[in-house]
Amino acid sequence: MIKDFNHYVPVRVVFGAGKLNEAGKYAAKYGSKALIVTTGSFFKEIGLVDRLINILKESGVDSEYYHDVSPNPLSTEIDAGAELGRKTGCEVVIGLGGGSAIDAAKGMAIAMGHNEPIWDFCPAGPVVKQPTDKTYPIIAITTTSGTGSHISPFSVITNPETDQKPGMGSDFIYPRVGIVDPELMLSMPKEITAATGFDVLAHSIEAYTSKIASPMSDIYAEEAIRLVGRYLRKAVTEGNDLEARSAMAYADTLAGFAMSLAINTICHGLSHAVGGISGTVHGETLAAMTPHTMRFSMNQDPEKYKKIGLLLRDETCEQVISEFTPEDAIQEVEKLIKDIGLDIPLSKQGVEEADLERIADAAFEYMSGAFDLDLRTPTREDIINILRASF
């Protein structure tokens, strides 16, 4: 019997080498002036921002540029960017970069359209207002593989005063267009390639094992896992290999679809709290915790957990699944983590042991929805045990 499901991911995906050149024609559909958002000035320094500005100009779209965005985007930075966009008459927001830039662009699109601080719309905020159709159109140009933000209705924003880092979700922040140009990823450093590539796997595993996983989300997740197993190591070690970059960009997009439909579970719920309090790199934090969150939940659906490992090995599941165990699958994940240089415990990522209980409480405060979607609902003690095992 096929499980009932809903499917809604309204993003136009423009995928392929050289597709950045089409950004202008899509931006022109939504306005005559764009706010370009990046994380820091790196893309300006290497000429990518100027290239995008010229591409937009060719289609009659003027632009403003805002780059004061941290790797974990701050609500104050988003409010400042939104103010710039409003004052200069921008009508569309373009996130150029990884998940941080795209998440920030989503936040600015909300703040610009509603003329209110972005924290009012975050789940941990004082009011928790809901975005409306006043949200400005968003175009996402991803340069990493990836966070899936170019496909998803989610944005992660940090409050610098409280160290809260909730995930915000709304259909109004689905990008109108997601441009995925693997050529933009060729120069991505191996450390970023590894961390963002593992995020692809974590999205896929968690969406695949979510309580609300569906036949559609499973298809996306399974193929993404298979592609990560086949290509992530090569993307890390041979960064200029366009085939590996393209495959990981595709895996990221598929995982974004899976995440948009089935969301994520314990590991992402925890990683937001870890990142908010300790300022860690998201993908590295996921790598430290994923094996332990998998062990916590694996007996709830052992067949799916076994399949994760077989997909990573790119094997025909029907042939060998009877000889495989969930623990074998977790060991495949751990092998990948080691091979790409992410076997870094939380203690070596800047997390203090004294903060573990605070992290657990923060996760329950504003990320408990992710816990509820896990096949095995954790207690506070369970979460602390996972953190200690990852430490």
Reported as a single tens digit per residue, the pLDDT across 98-139 is: 999 999 999 999 999 999 999 999 987 677 899 999 999 999
Residue 228 is predicted with a pLDDT of: 98
Residue 19 three-state SS:
helix
| pTM tops 0.85, yes or no | yes
Positive or negative CA dihedral for 242, 243, 245, 249? positive
Phi, psi for residue 28 in degrees, rounded to 5: -65, -20
> pLDDT class for 2, splitting at 50, 70, 90?
confident
The DSSP element (H or E) to which 323 belongs, if any, is none
* DSSP state string for 106-134: HHHHHHHHHTS-GGGGSTTSSS-PPP-TT
Q: What is the mean pLDDT of residues 52-78?
A: 97
Domains contained in the chain, CATH given? 12-185 (3.40.50.1970), 190-390 (1.20.1090.10)
Distance of CA 40 to the CA centre of its chain: 18
Phi, psi for residue 47 in degrees, rounded to 5: 90, 0
Reported as a single tens digit per residue, the pLDDT across 332-369 is: 999 999 999 999 999 999 999 999 999 999 999 999 99
pLDDT at 173 over 70: yes
As a whole number of angstroms, the distance between CA 227 and CA 198 comes to 12
Q: Which of 216, 290, 255, 311 is nearest to 8 (CA)?
A: 216
> Residues near 335 by Cβ (< 8 Å), separated by ≥ 6?
none
